[in-house]
Amino acid sequence: MDCEFTYRVPEELERAVQVGVRVAVPFAGGREVGVVSALAGESDLHPRRLRDVAKVLDQEPLIGSAQLSLARWISERYACSFGEALHAALPAALKREGERRKTRTIRALGSPEAAVLEELARTQEKQHRLLRTLLEIGAPVELSEILRRSNLSDAPAKSLAARGLVAIEWVASASDEFSSAPADRRRPDHLTAEQSTAVAVLRGVLDRREHRTVLLEGVTGSGKTEVYLSAIEHALSLGRGAIVLVPEIALTPQTVGWFRSRFADVAVLHSRLTDSQRLTMWHRLFRREARVVVGARSAIFAPVPDLGIVVVDEEHEPSFKQGSIPRYHARDVAVEVAREAGALCVLGSATPSLESWHQARLGAWTHLKLSTRVGARPLPPVEIVDMRNEGARGSRLFSNRLKHLVLETLAKGEQSILFQNRRGFAPVLWCSGCKQTLRCVHCDVSLTWHQRIGRLVCHSCCEEQERPGACPYCSAPGLRYLGAGSERIESEIRALAPTARVLRMDSDTMHRREDYEQALSAFGRGEIDILVGTQMIAKGLDFPRVTLVGVIDADAGLHLPDFRAAERTFQLIAQVAGRAGRGALPGRIVVQTLSPEHPAIQCAAKHDFARFAAGEDELRLELSYPPHARLVRIVFEDEDEIRGRDCAARLVAELAAESERAGAIVLGPAPAPIALARGRHRQNALFKFADTQAPLTELLAALKKFATSEAKTRVSIDVDPVAML
């Protein structure tokens, strides 16, 4: 499905063929599934070259004209083919003739002998890594999911199966895990004054059936969800449907339950649905049996007839941008979907992206604010602790203040959250002899020491290795740890508070969705005193007994070579801080930092989004970065460093005329901040457009043509990039 092709409709199929149904057609000697995108009266192809549609696969259309025109829009905006855009928009099951009702799972068979594991560790790193993970999980998991997360092909899985160490099985698809989501959110007796005002505005837009984008800026705990629910309720009463996008990580039974408690039939679209489940959801939406969709990024493509409202919660989240083709941003697509449908688009966040804030400030979008928490609960006070005053630089993880508060909170029987946005024990292993750090041979990143599994891990390609006894460069003995990941925080806090019940949540401990949900509900029941975690715990958690939040190292992301580093730091601190003091008990936040005067940290500590945004916006204007410019990033990857570099230089030279015509300032080509990943050398070039309205169509077409004609170097085009490394 990469392109549009013309076929003849035989007479007997004439009645069955309509736009949006799938058809089986002869293609390249075999048969392929295609979607009817248009019906033409005639074709300029020679009749002898026209081939017949073989079979019509659907009785009713599965893809509306809205989805088809959206796919066209995506292909133009993000420089991909129509087929690639359609591919992203369609459930996988629709792309095959049959339906698949089973998924493939993998599980470890018993516990292998130590010698077998040791041998694997030495000789088959990938098999060892997979087997060890499966042994740890101790239950069947979906094969495709674990391979994707471990960055493996299915070869190691097959080898393990051949040796009888694992079993790969087809199992009937599980029932929808979200159907049992607790639906226990009570409708509040009254909306707060700010909520009422916001809801009135949204209802007005819906009543007038106009298209409008609204930025709902509401501090954490201000009751944004209630505003969404009321607006959706109103849309339904007008006979219109709704799409709600939440970040993948926030798509929990708790969140889904909020919507289930209010609306009879909620379709949940998430990445772990099997093909047939997804297909069922799709049918139900198309037939108007379900009118509300809740899902992650790709739910924006759900076919909701007579769409009235699109909600994007946590609109600033980088995960709304897809990392592979088509590299679309679901928030920007949501605005387009709403525009096309004449619908209301609500973008909610406590910490809006500067792009959205800018649109609101310009007046292009409506800006609504919820400035106080529900029940007039105060936003928790934030203390900044200057770690430069806490003993020798970098040698201590906990300030005296944080230590004291953790113990005090524990003594009161209340809960704490400790946030460290980095996995593993130590992010760097360092030789005090030659001052070098241990790096991955395939990637330009340092290896992270993971204590529990006793291996060095590359967080870019996932490869593991044993820890050398001495420095591999100068043979000096005694490699040292530098810095701390969540695993080290956990181990130190256990030493500090031996009686506390501590749980670490990061992608090393939470292998399966179920683990994550069980952990959260245990925390909710008060069975855990201290939760240590990465950004997995920064989002959306609503636990009233959390009264202390500690940000161990606020600077971790501050100095990355990315123009959004300060914005991300501000957002993370504000989001984590929002986890405390959500119930009747007041909360407090401790932010440990080596740059206490940095505006991102200062403003986050004062819960002052407006001041942060204004200052940051000025910098962006000065340096001509979004929202005051648009960017197109081109990444060149090649095992052969020189060939990749040549390709990058050639693109910039060959497209010089088009670039100038489009008003682009071209930066680079230059080595990307991560100059080597998975054995490929990386170059990048940045096209900057100071005029954000600049028409990019021609330049993008030229870039696309260049990229697809390049045989050796992998050239990716990223329009409005979110990742800059």
Residue 248: phi and psi, rounded to 5, are -45, -45
Report the C-alpha gap between 599 and 615 in whole angstroms.
Answer: 8
Q: How far is the CB of 380 from ligand ADP (least distance, A)?
A: 13
Residue 107 near which of ligand ADP, Zn ion, none (CB within 5-8 Å, type-dependent): none
Distance, in Å, from the CA atom of 237 to the CA atom of 443, rounded to the nearest integer, reads 54
HSE-CB for 698 with a 13 A CA cutoff: 12
Compute the least distance from the CB of residue 313 to ligand ADP, in Å: 7
Is residue 152 part of the contact set for Zn ion (CB under 5 A)?
no
Q: Alpha helix (H) ranges present in 217-350?
A: 224-237, 253-260, 275-286, 330-341
Which of the choices ligand ADP, Zn ion, none does residue 383 contact, using the CB cut-off of 5 to 8 A by kind?
none
DSSP state of 321: B
Closer by beta carbon to Zn ion, 678 or else 714: 678
CB 678 to Zn ion: min, Å: 6
C-alpha to C-alpha distance for 53 and 275, rounded to whole angstroms: 25
Tell me the one-letter amino acid at 36.
V
> Residue 346 CB, nearest distance to ligand ADP (Å)?
12
Question: Judged by CB under 5 A, which of 461, 594, 674, 725 binds Zn ion?
Answer: 461
- Cα separation of 330 and 317, whole Å? 10
355 contact choice in ligand ADP, Zn ion, none (CB below 5 to 8 Å, kind-dependent):
none
For residues 160 and 219, which CB has a smaller minimum distance to ligand ADP in the complex? 219
Task: Quote the distance between the C-alpha of residue 605 and its chain's center.
Answer: 26
Residue 222 touches which of Zn ion, ligand ADP, none (Cβ within 5-8 Å per kind): ligand ADP
Q: Which does 461 bind (CB under 5 to 8 A by kind): ligand ADP, Zn ion, none?
A: Zn ion
CA distance from start to end of the chain: 31
Given the complex with Zn ion, which of 75 and 127 has the nearer CB atom? Answer: 127
CA distances from 719 to 306, 326, 381, 626, 687 (A): 30, 10, 39, 12, 9
CB nearer to Zn ion: give 32 or 125: 125
Q: Give the CA distances from residue 567 to residues 245, 271, 558, in Å, rounded to whole numbers and listed in that order.
A: 22, 28, 9
| Binding partner at 75 among ligand ADP, Zn ion, none, C-beta below 5 to 8 Å by kind | none
Q: Which stretch binds Zn ion (CB under 5 A): 296-304, 427-435, 450-458, 565-573?
A: 450-458
Beta-bridge mates of residue 369: 217
Region 430-449 residues binding Zn ion, contact defined as CB under 5 A: 440, 442-443
Choose the contact partner of 443 out of ligand ADP, Zn ion, none; CB within 5 to 8 A by kind: Zn ion
| Cβ-based nearer residue to ligand ADP, 392 or 584 | 584
Residue 223 binding result from Zn ion, ligand ADP, none, given CB thresholds of 5 to 8 Å by partner type: ligand ADP
> How far apart are CB 173 and ligand ADP at their closest, in Å?
32
- Rounded Cα–Cα distance for residues 567 and 211 (Å): 29
Residue 224 near which of Zn ion, ligand ADP, none (CB within 5-8 Å, type-dependent): ligand ADP
* Minimum distance from residue 368 beta carbon to ligand ADP (Å): 12
Show the tokens assigned to 99: 């339906």
Task: Return the number of the residue (221 or 644) whose C-beta is nearest ligand ADP.
Answer: 221
Q: Give just the sign of the alpha carbon dihedral 521, 507, 138, 295.
A: positive
Locate tokens 């790096």: which residue?
A: 439
The answer to the question of residue 56 lying near Zn ion (CB under 5 A) is no
The CB density around residue 113, as the number of other CB atoms within 10 Å, is 9
Which residue do the tokens 């619908």 mark? Answer: 343
Which amino acid, 132?
A: R
Question: Taking a C-beta distance cutoff of 8 angstroms, is the pair 487, 424 a contact?
Answer: yes
Which C-beta is closer to ligand ADP: that of 218 or that of 596? 218
Whether residue 530 contacts residue 503, with contact meaning beta carbons closer than 8 Å, is answered with: yes
Query: Rule CB under 5 A: is residue 460 a binding residue for Zn ion?
Result: yes
List Cα–Cα distances, 397 to 292, 423, 560, in angstroms.
46, 15, 21
**Could you tell me the smallest distance in angstroms from the CB atom of residue 226 to ligand ADP?**
4
CB of 463 to Zn ion, least distance (A): 5
Nearer to ligand ADP, 187 or 559 (CB): 187
Which residues make beta-bridge pairs with 311?
244, 346
Place of tokens 């959206």: 70
Half-sphere exposure of 319 (CA within 13 A, CB side): 17
Q: Look at residue 191 and give the partner it binds from Zn ion, ligand ADP, none, a contact being a CB closer than 5 to 8 Å depending on partner kind.
A: ligand ADP
Q: Which tokens sit at 611?
A: 């001041």
Nearer to ligand ADP, 164 or 188 (CB): 188
Return the DSSP state at 300. G
The distance of closest approach from Cβ of residue 218 to ligand ADP in the complex, given in angstroms and rounded to an integer, is 5
Strand partners, 439: 446
* CB 123, min distance to Zn ion, A: 19
Signed CA dihedral, 325, 331, 335, 340: sign only = positive
Question: Could you tell which of Zn ion, ligand ADP, none binds residue 442, using a CB distance below 5 to 8 A set by kind?
Answer: Zn ion
- Residues in contact with ligand ADP by CB under 6 A are 185, 188, 190-192, 195, 218, 220-226, 374, 542
Please state the closest distance from residue 619 (CB atom) to ligand ADP, in A.
Answer: 28
What's the rounded Cα separation, in Å, for the pair 609 and 246?
A: 21
* Residue number, 219 or 672, with CB nearest to ligand ADP: 219
374 binds, among Zn ion, ligand ADP, none (CB under 5 to 8 A by kind): ligand ADP
| Residue 458, contacted partner among ligand ADP, Zn ion, none, CB below 5-8 A by kind | Zn ion
Q: Would you say 254 or 420 has its CB closer to ligand ADP? A: 254
Give the whole-angstrom CA distance, residue 367 versus residue 346: 10
| Residue nearer to Zn ion on the CB measure, 383 or 444 | 444
Backbone phi and psi for residue 402, each to the nearest 5 degrees, phi listed first: -65, -40
Q: Which two tokens stand for residue 660?
A: 């100038």
Distances (CA, A) of 97 to 283, 286, 642: 16, 19, 44
Least distance (Å) from Zn ion to the CB of residue 442? 4
Smallest separation, CB 509 to ligand ADP (Å)? 26
Nearer to ligand ADP, 49 or 190 (CB): 190
Interaction partner, residue 221 (Zn ion, ligand ADP, none; CB < 5-8 Å by kind): ligand ADP
Q: Which is nearer to ligand ADP, 220 or 277 (CB)?
A: 220
Site residues for Zn ion per CB under 5 A? 440, 442-443, 458, 460-461
